[in-house]
Structure 1
Amino acid sequence: MHAIRLHAFGPAENLTYEKTDDPEPGPGQVRIAVEAAGVHLLDTAIRTGVQGPLPHLPGLPTIPGREVAGTVEALGPDTDPSWLGREVVAHLGFAPGGYAELAVTDADRLHTVPAGLDAAQAVAMIGTGRTALGILNFTETTPDTVAIVPAAAGGIGTLLVQYVKHAGGTVIGLAGGPAKTALAAANGADLALDYKDPDWTARAAGFLVNLGRKATVLYDGVGGPAATAALDLLGPGGHHVIFGWSGRGIGDTGGPLLLDETERARRGLVQEQVLGQAMMRKAGGDNPVRTLELAALDLAARGVLTPAVHRFPLAEAAAAHHALETRATTGKVILEPWESTGPQV
């Protein structure tokens, strides 16, 4: 098979498109002919040698990627034979191997791709979608919700905008540049603003005055100056839901935007970091990850959520990483192996 391999931690150019051995499924596993593989911001951090939330960095060389969809084309010993030939999607967990024409995973990680979704959309929902629903579990979304969504043209942001609008709420979507701002508006944001525009906060404040409301929730995966300015638009009782700080850069030790207790009390705000164990506890059940995955796939199948995807050929994984790191992407970044056109090794 062909795959993307990383032989040394470093820049995106270290991702190389190579011929390598087909992986073999072990007991209870399947091998998937990959039609779509997800690219996550965490992948770019791991590529540089930043461990992040992983228990350890992968050994090198490695095939990055932890989200795939495609057709089950081989079974390991003691695997349910009914999986053979089915269109499936799976998050591989901490095991890498997704940026490839073939990938192996445990059968208990599989979901059947719902009718009406293509492989790329299924991948978007299995990772980005489950995270979006996990974030939304921390708020009650109603027609009274007035949400501010930075990165509203991104993978998670797109789904947050759609969910709030489906519930009848109001959304101020922030995005970088005219093209992304237009996408946020097309996706349903009531007011789409370019956070690079120095007047965006005044325009947002004017919108809220006309609405007769203050913002009730800030869904913040960005941090940095945009989130700092957006905090001032939250009214008393407002909820600052923090799920990242990409605006501060990968590996930035500054962390999330957190006010001290006195300032939170003065403003009457709740600030909550929602990733990791907090999200798992909120999802509940014996397998909270799977609970969120199933819910995300169901909402996409019913048309409540429609993930945005940004497609690259598998051979151009380095370009995909570079685009993601420089904020040149919209929606979930997807690699599609059958479109590979790059040089082969």
Structure 2
Amino acid sequence: MHAVVLHEFGPADNLTYEIVPDPVPGPGQLRIAVKAAGVHHVETVMRQGTPGVMTPPVPDLPFIFGGEVAGVVESVGPDVDPAWIGRNVVVARSEPGGYAELTVAPAQNVHPIPDSLDYAAAVTMVITGNTALGLLHAAQPTPDDVVLVTSAAGGIGRLVVQYLRDLGATVIGAAGGPEKVAAVRALGVDAVDYNEPGWADDIHGVTLVLDGVGGDKAKQAYDRIVDHGRYVTIGNASQQQFAQDNPKVTSIDALGLMIASPADFDFEAEAIAAAGAGTLVPAFQSFPLAEAAAAHAALESRATTGKVVLIP
């Protein structure tokens, strides 16, 4: 099969498209013909070989990235019901990673894809949708909240904005550049360009910040929070820290909570069902599997909108 393999840590171009042996499903596993594979910002950091803020350990090389895949069950291992064969499924834990034409995964972890959902949308929801719902679970927003969402044009951000809008909260989405700002406004909320100087100066009364950026942009958002408000973080795309120096603001590390108590933050099925029902509409940007290096480069430069997905 074809796969994208990292043999040496470094820039995006170190990802090579090559032929590797087909994986063999073991006991309790399915083999999936991959139709869509998700890409994460954290994978771009891991690819460089230098652990950053809120980043898992670097992998052993050679390595195939991609935790989540959507596709068709092609075969099954021992002790797995052959009725799975031919079904459309999505899973968050595939082995090896999803940057490949084939992967295997534990049968107990897969979810059937609703008929109304395509592969790219399904793969967007299984981790990104789960993470968005986990972030919201940690934040506990109410209709009375004034919420500032950073990276609002990203895969998580757009889902969070939709949820908050439908909840009835006042939502301000912050994104970088006119196109991304327009994409956020198209969701029916106010939007600002956080690449512009003084972007947060006219924002007032914020009771909740949902942040995935970190660094200076997060600091400017944090400084808009009123006393007894909340700052909730799910990531740090900038890989930069800032001083959270207001003792009257509650800071919540949603990602840390998800890692510490994964059973309390398992919203995979709920996220997939919400997309299938049209309650949450995932946004994604697709690249051919062979162009995984370009996908990484675009994600690193913040040139993408929505979830980044690879299509074999």
Question: 1:316 maps to what in 2?
Answer: 291
- Using the aligned pairs only, state the percent identity: 51
1:139 to partner: Cα distance:
2.6
Q: What does 1:1-345 correspond to in 2, within 5 Å?
A: 1-51=1-51, 56-92=57-93, 95-189=95-189, 191-205=190-204, 214-247=205-238, 249=239, 255=241, 257-260=242-245, 263-264=246-247, 268-276=248-256, 278-279=257-258, 287-288=263-264, 291-337=266-312
**Structure with larger Rg:** 1
Q: TM-score, normalised by structure 2?
A: 0.94
Q: TM-score, normalised by structure 1?
A: 0.85
- Aligned-partner residue type, residue 65 of structure 1: G
Structure 2 unaligned spans of 5+: none
1:54 to partner: Cα distance:
7.5
* Distance of 2:235 and 2:55 partners within structure 1: 16
* Distance of 1:43 and 1:140 partners within structure 2: 28
* Distance of 1:314 and 1:221 partners within structure 2: 26
Aligned residues: 311
Q: Note if contact 2:185-2:191 (Cα within 8 Å) is conserved in structure 1.
A: yes
Q: Secondary structure at the match of 2:255?
A: coil
C-alpha change, 1:114 and 1:223, in structure 2 (3 Å) is same
Q: Note if contact 1:280-1:288 (Cα within 8 Å) is conserved in structure 2.
A: no
* Distance of 1:96 and 1:56 partners within structure 2: 17
1:5 to partner: Cα distance:
1.1
Q: Note if contact 1:175-1:193 (Cα within 8 Å) is conserved in structure 2.
A: yes
User: Which string of whole-angstrom CA distances, capped at 9 and with x for unpartnered residues, describes residues 54-99 of structure 1?
Assistant: 7754332222111100000011111122211110000116x54210
Structure 1 unaligned spans of 5+: 206-213, 338-345
Q: Secondary structure at the match of 1:275?
A: helix
What's the C-alpha RMSD, in Å, of the aligned pairs?
1.9
* Distance of 2:48 and 2:139 partners within structure 1: 34
User: Which string of whole-angstrom CA distances, capped at 9 and with x for unpartnered residues, describes residues 92-121 of structure 1?
Assistant: 16x542101111111111000122111111
Q: Note if contact 2:46-2:57 (Cα within 8 Å) is conserved in structure 1.
A: no
* Distance of 2:259 and 2:57 partners within structure 1: 21
1:279 to partner: Cα distance:
2.5
